[in-house]
Amino acid sequence: MTRRARLALFALAGPAFAAVLVIGLHGLPTFGDYHGVYGLLVNRIEPRLRHATDIVTALNFDIRAFDTLGEEFILFTSVSGVALLLRRLRVADEHAERSRGTEDHRFAGASAGVRMSSLLLIPLLIALGGYVVLHGALTPGGGFQGGVVMAAGPLAVLVAGRYLIMKHLAPEWLLEAADSAGAAGYVLMGVGGLIFTGVLLKNFLPLGTPGELLSAGMMPLNSIAVGLEVTGAFLLVWTEFLDQALITTGGEEG
Amino acid sequence: MSALQTTALIAVVAAGTAVVLTPEALRQTMVLGIFGLTLTILFFTFQAPDVALSEIVVSGVGLPLIILAALRKIRSQERDRQAEERDS
């Protein structure tokens, strides 16, 4: 298509699209105008029903627990796919260029200050991540959010320019185990609901006092399972990508 | 809408446009991280701290890291190909 034909097409399609957009936006409710019934209902019943104070977590692990089960396995499957593909590539690469790849990776630019602050970051990130995971049912956060923060902890070693030490700290077998144990743990909790209450994923643990760490029934355990899976999954994907970028081809400049 | 929310919305529009207009992939990754930060502030000002927490780590660490690793791999492959062409 020539430039003129493309411009002519845009001259037709652009205003039409803009018109549809303006008409559509015109029909929207005004800002802050909330007509939902569901949200208000959930906000009212969930603290009473499950003793959870963070309704977002209560939604994820109680009211829509089955959706979360699906999301768990979306993450699990995609991470397995990435690992499967990239490991195959890596094997091919290693055969072709075994002599060139070096096993030691150091950034030339990682100063003492960067290394020092990353050393400080590791415990802080892991502690914060663990806190967010454990307090999922109480305050904003939960398994996914805390899991990603925790996964960033070992990554601070990479920022300090010591990728192989990061791999030592979080070896692949450990990440795989965390990923699978988290996914399996969530399923087992669900099956527990099926056994003890007759409903898949339904709460079967005592509810406890609202606001305390061990309250809201299964939610802290669900949160830990999801946190474990997410930590393992993210670190595994990062490791696979970094292996590709840093080890098999990053020989000469390191 | 409060002034904070309006400011956050404008920042998201500006940063999102900046991501599209940045020409080079490496720099674009950095701008993408800043875009994620403005989105985080947006979620936070609209009282969705759960989403803000996820957004800050995924857009600040998770996504850029994967893009940077992929970029490095692509570039080293290109360098290898050029070296081979020079040799032959």
Express each pLDDT in B16-38 by its tens digit.
999 999 988 889 999 999 999 99
Reading chain B (88 residues) residue by residue, the pLDDT tens digits are: 789 999 999 999 999 999 999 988 889 999 999 999 999 999 999 888 888 988 988 898 888 988 988 888 888 888 888 888 887 7
- The answer to whether the CB atoms of A141 and B76 lie below 8 A apart is no
Question: Is B6 an interface residue toward A (CB < 8 Å)?
Answer: no
- On whether any CB of chain B is under 8 Å from the CB of A148, the answer is yes
| Model confidence pLDDT, tens digit, residues A4-53 | 999 999 999 999 999 999 999 888 888 878 878 888 888 888 888 888 88
Set of chain A residues whose Cβ sits within 8 Å of the Cβ of B57 = 145, 148-149, 152
Q: Can you tell me which residue has the tokens 């800002």?
A: A31
User: CA nearest A166: which of A157, A153, A179?
Assistant: A157
Select from A31, A246, A249 the Cβ nearest to the Cβ of B1: A31
Q: Output helix, strand, coil percentages for chain B, rounded to the nearest 5.
A: 90, 0, 10
CB atoms within 10 A of CB B46: 16
**Among residues 59-118 of chain A, which lie with CB inside 8 Å of chain B?**
none
Q: What is the pLDDT of residue A98?
A: 45
pLDDT per position as a tens digit, A160-187: 877 777 888 888 889 889 999 999 998 9
| pTM, 2 dp | 0.81
Kindly calculate the radius of gyration of chain A based on its CA atoms and give it in whole angstroms.
Answer: 24
B68 interaction partners in chain A (CB closer than 8 Å): 245
Residue-level pLDDT at B33: 92
Average pLDDT over residues A201-210: 80
Q: How many CB atoms lie within 10 A of CB A49?
A: 16
pLDDT tens string A59-94: 888 888 889 899 999 999 999 998 888 887 776 666
- Evaluated on CA atoms A213, A218, A219, A221, the torsion sign reads positive
Question: ipTM of this predicted complex?
Answer: 0.83
> What integer pLDDT is reported at residue A250 of this predicted model?
42
Instruction: Kindly state the average pLDDT of the residues A174-201.
Output: 87
Give the pLDDT score at A251: 43
pLDDT tens-digit readout, A97-129: 544 444 445 555 678 888 888 888 889 999 999
